[in-house]
Amino acid sequence: MIKNIFIEVGLIARFTGRFFREVFKPRFEFSEFLRQCYYIGNKSLPLVAITAFIMGLVITIQSRPTLVEFGAQAWLPKMVSVSLVREIAPVITALICAGKIGSGIGAELGSMKVTEQIDAMDVSGTNPYKFLVVTRVMSTTLMIPILAILADAVSLYGGYLGANIRGVVSWDLYWNQVFDTLVFGDVVPSIIKTFFFGFAIGIIGCYKGFNSNKGTEGVGQSANSAVVVSSLLVFIIDLLAVQITDILNLN
Amino acid sequence: MNPETAKYTTTIETTDNSAVIQVRDLYKAFGENKVLSGFNFDLKRGENVVVLGKSGSGKSVLIKCIIGLMQVDKGMINVLGNDVPKLNTTDLDKMRAKVGFLFQSNALYDSMTVRENLEFPLRRHWIKTSKEEVNDLVMEVLTNVGLPHTVDMMPSELSGGMRKRIALARTLILKPDIILYDEPTTGLDPITGKEISNLMVDIQKKYNTSSVIISHDLNCVKIVANRVVMLIDGICYATGTYEELELSTDKKVKQFFE
């Protein structure tokens, strides 16, 4: 069991190493990269936006009673904005994307593998790793931070509505408090870590799909394990990120 | 027909300059499982050769080695003057532009229309042609496989036989010198299988191709084969025309035709 985990980690590391060897070499698959950006970014936007809005609303509604108890109701926008921007919006976005995009990539490449479409690409003068893996990993690495920024904005708007359900906070007051509270150390590290989330989701989805076998059963397993492993990696990266920001006194 | 006869036949063919594919002493194993153990084989220009063998005997492995999709353990594969195992990626791509490969599962790209599927090899092999020329090529190959009306359809909208024809059209669009067919009639009903077999013969005449066909469908073999090579125990066990092998008294050969 432990030996298998180490073997899997080694294979993923080798697969990732190949990405860095291939990414700077021509031929650059620019049109496929843009196509993937559209699918990964645009198609995930509604789901990420709805989830972020609900999270902002719920966190605000649930935090309010505790703050009221301590007479710190006025701190609601400050507290909510920090927790949403630093942690909740990026991690929720990454987990949603791990579920939607990671499984999609795992299943798509897995089915391409078992139906010999990847071999067909090879025969057609195409490096399948560059065409399928590099473009998808680049797209997830670029799109997930953008989705996370949008999730920040939408969740903060959800927080504004949540704050106004029981109390009254004006639009100007809410946003003034939010922008007064948020500093460089809140925003930038949280955006930087989403690049790593995106990379992890892309590389795991592609690795699982690219190494799929056992026919249609294998495709299901690829999709499933892509979600499990990339979600786990999101939390591990988040843990590492919080340690690094702590060392850099950014917490 | 016995192994000795087969060996004698391939030795004769080595000296034949018209061979477009030459395979010599090919070895390929997966762990302990030795699939090819010194396989020898030649394909002459304009010839249709069927490689016949049991499931798992290494037929598909053989053509995947020929096209460079699998690395060989030992041996020589010469395709149109190229030593395949020693080719770099660029030269391998150049060689592959002259060799079509029809996959057992058709391998049509699900996310692309029929037109995009057919245009894909043209674009990827850097074949620079105008939009009109590409369109003419697409329509020509689709007409040749009898499906010009499917040009804007998705692969999921096509039947099994139609997909096979489209896959064949994609193989033909580069006008290859050689076509490698991996079980072209598997999964098709006998009537469609016969249609595909006849189409393969028509294609050979029209495009003057040489073909290696992997199959264990005897109806298909009967229609398409100029020569049959029997892959048994990892070697070229016997070779001859369909009729010759059908009359063979060798036990291992005979069991295929019973």
ipTM of the complex: 0.82
Tens-digit pLDDT string for chain A (251 aa): 888 889 989 999 999 999 999 888 888 888 899 999 999 988 889 999 999 999 999 999 998 888 888 888 888 888 999 999 999 999 999 999 999 999 999 999 999 998 889 999 988 888 899 999 999 999 999 999 999 999 999 999 999 998 888 778 888 998 998 999 888 888 999 999 999 999 999 999 999 999 888 777 888 888 999 999 999 999 999 999 999 988 887 76
Beta-carbon contacts of A231 under 8 Å, excluding residues fewer than 6 positions away, are A95, A98, A99, A102
Task: Tell whether B101 is within 8 A of chain A (Cβ).
Answer: yes
CB B152 within 8 A of CB B137: no
Q: Do A120 and B67 touch (CB under 8 A)?
A: no
**Burial (Cβ within 10 Å: 0-12, 13-18, ≥19) of residue B73:** middle
**B93 contacts in chain A (CB < 8 Å):** 125
Chain A interface, mutation test: which of B70, B102, B120, B170, most A Cβ atoms within 10 Å? B120
* pLDDT for the residue B17: 58
Long-range contacts of A113-118 (CB under 8 A, 24+ apart): A113/A209, A113/A210, A113/A211, A113/A212, A113/A213, A114/A212, A114/A213, A114/A215, A114/A216, A114/A218, A114/A219, A115/B105, A115/B106, A115/B107, A115/B110, A116/B103, A116/B104, A116/B105, A116/B107, A117/B107, A117/B108, A117/B109, A117/B110, A118/A210
Using CA atoms, how far residue A48 sits from A59, A107, A227, B19, B43, in Å, is 16, 21, 16, 60, 57
Q: Do A125 and B121 touch (CB under 8 A)?
A: yes
Angle, alpha carbons B66-B69-B72 (nearest 5°)? 65
Could you read off the pLDDT of B23-72 as tens digits, one per residue?
999 999 998 888 899 999 899 988 999 999 888 888 899 999 999 999 99
* B7 pLDDT more than 60: no
Q: Which residue is closest to A116 within chain B, CA to CA? A: B107
Alpha-carbon Rg for chain B in angstroms: 18
CB B19 within 8 A of CB B44: yes
Task: Tell whether B103 is within 8 A of chain A (Cβ).
Answer: yes
Mind telling me how many Å the CA of B126 is from chain A's nearest CA? 9
Mind telling me how many Å the CA of A122 is from chain B's nearest CA? 8
Q: Which of B89, B93, B103 sits opposite A119 (nearest CB)?
A: B103
Using CA atoms, how far residue A38 sits from A41, A45, A237, B113, in Å, is 5, 10, 26, 19
Predicted TM-score of the model (pTM): 0.84
Distance CA B3, CA A141 (A): 58
